[in-house]
Structure 1
């Protein structure tokens, strides 16, 4: 957010950052797709115009043109944010934000111990929050990745593996591996699940070791230099992006996470850009919804179909890429497709199970309206964090 404000030359607004941690170094990695030629180009660790999607029965090499798949490590982002903070003259308050009081004119931010931290005209809040109401389907995207250094060339730096569904599938959910090579000897190899429950640390390591072996990589020639973990909510519960007149939530709490995949970065980046443009123009710092309403509905149906076992996960995602141009699928996941393209995406799925899931979703919505108290309880587990957005609260006054 600070970098976006600096990029749009916001200089006449007083800014404070409330965060108990001043982040530095490489503590996370973002992978996302976009078009080349933007302000992230110089920060990327790697990017690919071709990726692979693998299922137990197919192996597809996809041309993403005009898009690219990109990897961004946190170190350059934190450094850019620190430089922007200095140029903006932002005040840093090293504390964890607690209660927020909004009287419609000013927002009073309290620490978790109750003391007042600051008063501001607007609060941009990126702290993780549960949805306004429990979702009808509540899954998690959870993963562990190993940064592997090899003693000889073993990776193809020109091609990333976007999704490899040859991993053993959980009883309830979807699993896949992926490979993001920085060069021929260094890559991030990751195991990911879309499912309701987390694994133990030993189970993640076992799954990663199994995927490494599936790739034909010799563990004797590899060194694990870093380990990354993450958990992101996947739910059709609605997130409130504007809980009060002068509080704006960003990231997962502001609806930036795509319910059907857990992808967040691109929408988060758009939110920051929209907020910065608005502030530079003297308008309220309120971004547009991250995804169209029809996409949120389609995500709810897809989550229900996967959760109920109506569709096979690898087949479901494999058909999306097999029956659509790769850039259409990626633009759909970013919420940038037209209605006609959305219909084409829908036609690529198996009709009968999706109709069943659609009817069940409609019935559940009717039941919720008639008896909302019957809705199951749900909250974000303590381990769930938005790994796409450093948890920080920026306030302008």
Structure 2
């Protein structure tokens, strides 16, 4: 308790999930022990409540906490199976428990102040921010607030889809999985009328793996719908669901939209994670951008600069994502066809770096040329008309 007198700090982290956990670890790694830090979140995150998968070069700061990594992945369509060599990258998986544990240790080493409370408001006067608890009482007064709570976009987008999924951590009594490679996208799932679906398999060993069913579409399924889809996918792989033990279940939903997510809603409040634009609109991938945001925030504070990370993705990539979403949403392009051509006509490393926002203009043009030209051109024109109409309707 603080008896109504806010605690003065340099940085307050509002929200304690994945984005905040990565920031805490980065602050500790940069040796910012003298920084006054507060964490405000009603939940103390621990245990296995989610799994993140991402690609990058070996030797990163997360190598010590990875559950598994793969140098090869499969992309499967009804017509063919591709095994992609990701070199010099690799696909990696990290579970939440070691990320949260590492953040808790960083919090201790930094001497951070913890408030197990919801936040009702952030009062930013341009020089300091007062963080108010659920009852309106001031908890913290900070020079900067890093807010990673989920939030809706500033205004609706022209396309608003979701990446939604259910995963089963399954165990087998016999060797069943190939731990040398992951299944990144398997489009041999029944495709929704509006959207795209796929399965994937992330094996930790030959007897334990995460098997997941994912959709990119406007609306979620029921719980039974996800379970039916997972059983069907396991059957498609030739595995008897009754012979597998489901150890854990993971559900998730991530926005896929061209709607704007302001990174800096007021002078000294900075948003991180999905609320800060870390989610790639065309895929829902988020984790790599959160890693970059955390490193940029810590490096800025270590250098005495404002902890404002760069935009997660170049503007041209966001425009390309808006066009792709429009093409998929209107049915001009089929999801399996789109991704099949993307991986067929580009090196795997280029596709993955593009999805991370790490390609230059020349490579971006190569990615654009690999898409179905006529329907994408129609989507470009539709996007341009939509943007113009949106500007004309917007007040002021």
Pick the TM interval, shorter chain.
Answer: over 0.9
Q: Distance in 2 between matches of 1:63 and 1:113?
A: 54
Match of 2:324 in 1: 302
Match of 1:380 in 2: none
Q: Distance in 2 between matches of 1:113 and 1:209?
A: 46
Superposed, 1:1-397 pairs within 5 Å as 1-372=23-394
RMSD: 0.7
Q: Which runs of 5+ in 2 are unaligned?
A: 1-22
Structure 1 residue 219, shift from structure 2 partner: 2.2
Q: Distance in 2 between matches of 1:197 and 1:260?
A: 16
Segments of 4+ in structure 1 off by > 2 A?
none
Q: How many residues align?
A: 373
Structure 1 residue 372, shift from structure 2 partner: 2.8
SS of match in other structure, 1:118: strand
Structure 1 residue 220, shift from structure 2 partner: 3.1
Structure 1 residue 116, shift from structure 2 partner: 1.4
Q: Which runs of 5+ in 1 are unaligned?
A: 374-397
SS of match in other structure, 2:299: helix
TM-score (structure 1 length as normaliser):
0.93
Report 1 or 2 for greater relative contact order, CA contacts < 8 Å, sequence distance ≥ 6: 1
Q: What per-residue deviation string (whole Å, max 9, x for no partner) do you get for residues 184-227 of structure 1?
A: 00000000000000100000000000001011112232100000
TM-score (structure 2 length as normaliser):
0.93
